Amino acid sequence: MIKDLTDALIQFRVKHPEAKIFGKIGSGLVIDYDNYFHLFQFKRELYHNFKYHFPEVKKDDGKHYGYAQIMSLEILKRAINDWKVDKLIFALPDGKFYTCFAMLFLNFYKKNNTEVPHIPGEIAMPLDFFEALKTKPTQKGQGKIFSKQQAAGAVKGLLGDLFELEETNSKSNEE
């Protein structure tokens, strides 16, 4: 069970130790992973009311979409324009990670005007446009279970990245 952004990032780093943190945008982190810059965010739940709030937005076969993911339009634009983020990664409490291209999310919003009615500034896109991030098992046959050494290595890598990021930020503030 993932409880917050730090926990999500630790679990992600156990499975993908090559991921490196570059910066922070709102409640998310910019990471370099798999030859792309990603905006990594933790989401407590999926958006269940997409088909009720946007009944006119349907699949090609005329059926309604199911669950969706929401995020801040401002953060998405900053991620794309300021950080040149290519992809988004959303971590959910159940330990699953979903990814999609950032421009796909933005263009879906522009095409369908999917601003969430009760949360101004938040936009939605159905999970149909995301793919589950394929995770490598940490040890043969173990799936999501990992050892204390693997978790410690992920935490050490995470703390190292955060320390480097803090040093870079403090040097740029001094100049």
pLDDT tens digits along 69-99: 999 999 999 999 999 999 999 999 988 899 9
- Domain-by-domain residue ranges, the chain? 5-174
Instruction: Indicate the pTM of the whole model.
Output: 0.78
pLDDT the model gives residue 11:
84
What is the spatial distance between Cα 18 and Cα 160, in angstroms, rounded to a whole number?
13
How many CB atoms neighbour CB 124 within 10 A?
A: 25
pLDDT the model gives residue 162:
52
Task: Kindly report which listed range (29-33, 45-49, 69-73, 148-152) carries the lowest average pLDDT score.
Answer: 148-152
Pure H helices in 17-174: 50-53, 73-81, 102-112, 148-174
